[in-house]
Chains A and B, each alone.
Chain A
Amino acid sequence: MKNNLLKTLSALAVSTAVGVGGMASAMAENVKIGMITTLSGGGSSLGIDVRDGFMLAIKQSGRTDIDVMIEDDARKPDVAKQISDKFIQKEKVDILTGIIWSNLAMAVVPPAVRQGVFYISPNAGPSALAGKACHENYFNAAWQNDNLHEAMGGYVSAEGHKKPFILAPNYPAGKDALTGFKRFYTGELAGEVYTKLGQTDYAAEIAQIKASGADSVYFFLPGGMGIAFMKQYSQSGVSTPVFGPAFSFDQGILAAVGDAAVGVKNSSQWSKDIDTPANKAFVESFQKEYGRLPSLYASQGFDSANLIISAVEKAGGAKDADAFRAALKAAEFTSVRGDFKFASNNHPIQDIYVREVVKEGDVLTNKIVAVGLKGHANAYVDQCKM
């Protein structure tokens, strides 16, 4: 318990230290970054990981010409919008980043980029921002929302499953998820179910899975919904194999799912066992800094910061918008996930891996077992007219 307090405090200390260090040498040309993320209430662990990953990269860069301001959006769109107004109008930031949730991104990003501010997304990638509402100042350093689902659709197909049962919450991201899955899995389905958003009891759906004669299950249930589903599924006596996106099987959440998760295949653009020097260094230094294993979200925060740093380096700051934009687009940084470049709609072209949940000693973690999709972009490139 105490430990947690300490950790939070030390994380805060780090972030202030960086901020102050930046200010000490403050010149007119300092790059100002405003981070809006979820640090309180449900879902705060995602925001905290993004923040910690991001600040780690800033710290490692040793740069004193980058100021980062961080504020909590409490997962409310209007609060996020208000903070972004404050960052843009009062603090005159050059770059915004940090938002976790698609609905908050939709409230903040379109007006912000229209005012000439850059937005680097470390998580949310709603289809609108990749397609019709794309913008030259909006870059996504994580994924387009459909990516992980598409990879799993492809993998389930390739593994020879003939009758998957698929489920997701009844809201746009849920529908996009299953559409993404079906884009790469084109066979027959045992069933397709949309659950209530925020539902925590899945007995009825599990009984449907059992009755449907499915040979595999794919689910997209972010946050607590996924934990609840997995725990209940493992108790139901159904042994049909389960597939999911990384969100329900990532480092932060695995401990809460428990042994029920062991053996589950999940798709992710990052894993802690990606064998590159950059990734090894990241995992090690993150663990040293914060005393826990990094999560997917931490890697996205880390990459977002490094992307920004590389562009600041190349363009000599962020004041020259055209040069800075071109430098971002070039993405000349070493992503911890391996190969990384931007598609024409400023979303990543990257490999999506399939990982399996394993137990290393007492700790649940993931290990890469296959590549789901290689050099994958997204389905909305053609809709984006920039």
Chain B
Amino acid sequence: MTSAFVIEQILNGVQFGVMLFLMAAGLTLVFGVMGLINLAHGSLYMIGAFVCAWVSGWIGSFWIGLVAGLLAAAAVGALMEILVIRRLYQRDHLDQVLATFAMILIFSEGTRWLFGDQPLWLDIPQLLSGAVDLPFGVSYPLYRLAIILVGVALAIGLYMLITKTRLGMQIRAGESDREMIGALGINIATLYTVVFALGAALAGVAGSFVGALQSVQVGMGEPVLILAFVVIVIGGIGSIEGALVASVLVGLVDTLGRVFLPQFFALFMEPSAATSVGSALSSTSIYILMAIVLIWKPKGLFAAHD
């Protein structure tokens, strides 16, 4: 095992984490500001990927597809907020769960209806294909490197938006005291729609980027949704910093667990037994991580507010 190998795996973990952050950020914002559990967040990720794949296939440019994916997800998000979600803010979490679960069914089947049953093809843009050489003899796919950079840039952008702009101030006000923003004369309805669409756009971007790395298919949003929930719970619900730290943590634990747990067990077990015990344990590593964090800190690492 060389240091290049270890560095590469750490990069893989970070890249995975950054992608998770884009999903988790929207989820945690919506929960923090509106107090809404949105199970259909994964559908927005799927919509981003499908529109990106469809548009890039049609026009022949990944970048236009990416923009289309982002806009489509944001538009669907805004529409969803106006038509359905805003009726749910006053309801308890359980009604929100049922309503957004119903929306998963509608979106999944609707997508299949529109785009057909086969997975769609979406390829990495030419500009970012291939691998690059990094220091310490690491050779790393350029596209993954780009994802890390874009993700970090978006995280910084989001941070600036929330701390430095008027919208951000309203969002923060909304997180700490929902009645307060109404009193300040802010149009709550518009603010909520904007926040929801912002979260949807981030999910759409994540879907488009990841779509080029995997298959664009119905149901792709659900596993990511669960992971994003794990992230926001570990990070502390409503906390953007928490979501960032937790995403990278989850990304690293999952990736490094997959690689090193079987090798660790091989130190004192027969190879075949080590492989199966290690693989079984690494499948659950992030859930174990979540359980440990919550037992230690029942409100996540960065508890935003009670």
| A208 engages B275 (CB within 8 Å) | no
Is B165 in the interface zone, CB < 8 Å from A? no
User: Would you give the shortest CB distance from B292 to chain A, in whole angstroms?
Assistant: 19
Given contacts A170-B279, A194-B279, A227-B215, contact A207 B116 (CB under 8 A): no
Given contacts A201-B213, A207-B8, A231-B212, contact A41 B120 (CB under 8 A): no
Chain A residue with the shortest CB-CB distance to B8: A207
Given contacts A231-B212, A253-B119, contact A237 B130 (CB under 8 A): yes
> Which among A42-50, A310-318, A348-356 touches the partner chain?
A42-50
Given contacts A5-B113, A170-B276, contact A204 B259 (CB under 8 A): yes
Number of chain A residues close to chain B: CB under 8 A: 42
Residues of chain A from 248 to 272 with CB closer than 8 A to chain B in the complex:
252-253, 255-259
| B214 engages A200 (CB within 8 Å) | yes
Decide if the interface of chain A is mainly helix, strand, loop or mixed.
helix
Complex CA–CA separation, A22 to B115 (angstroms):
33
Residues of A near B142 (CB, < 8 A) are 235
Residues of chain B from 90 to 144 with CB closer than 8 A to chain A in the complex:
108-109, 112-121, 123-124, 129-131, 139, 141-144
Residues of chain B from 197 to 238 with CB closer than 8 A to chain A in the complex:
210, 212-220, 223
Is B63 in the interface zone, CB < 8 Å from A? no
Is B183 in the interface zone, CB < 8 Å from A? no
Residues of B near A194 (CB, < 8 A) are 275-276, 279
Is A370 in the interface zone, CB < 8 Å from B? no
Complex CA–CA separation, A345 to B302 (angstroms):
60
Is B258 in the interface zone, CB < 8 Å from A? yes
Partner of B283, one of A41, A170, A228: A170
| B129 engages A235 (CB within 8 Å) | yes
Is B16 in the interface zone, CB < 8 Å from A? yes
Chain B residue with the shortest CB-CB distance to A364: B121
User: Would you give the shortest CB distance from A383 to chain B, in whole angstroms?
Assistant: 22
Residues of A near B283 (CB, < 8 A) are 170, 196-197
Given contacts A194-B276, A224-B215, contact A203 B223 (CB under 8 A): no
Given contacts A203-B12, A204-B255, A204-B259, contact A42 B219 (CB under 8 A): yes
Residues of A near B117 (CB, < 8 A) are 4, 44-45, 48
User: Known contacts A201-B16, A227-B119, A256-B215; can you find 11 more A-B pairs with CB under 8 A?
Assistant: A5-B113, A42-B218, A196-B279, A200-B215, A203-B12, A204-B256, A207-B259, A237-B131, A256-B121, A258-B121, A258-B123
A-B contact pairs, 11 of them (CB 8 A): A44-B218, A170-B279, A195-B279, A198-B223, A203-B141, A207-B12, A228-B213, A232-B141, A232-B214, A235-B143, A235-B144
User: Residues on A close to B: CB < 8 A?
Assistant: 1, 4-5, 40-42, 44-45, 48, 170, 192-198, 200-201, 203-205, 207-208, 210-211, 223-224, 227-228, 231-232, 235-237, 252-253, 255-259
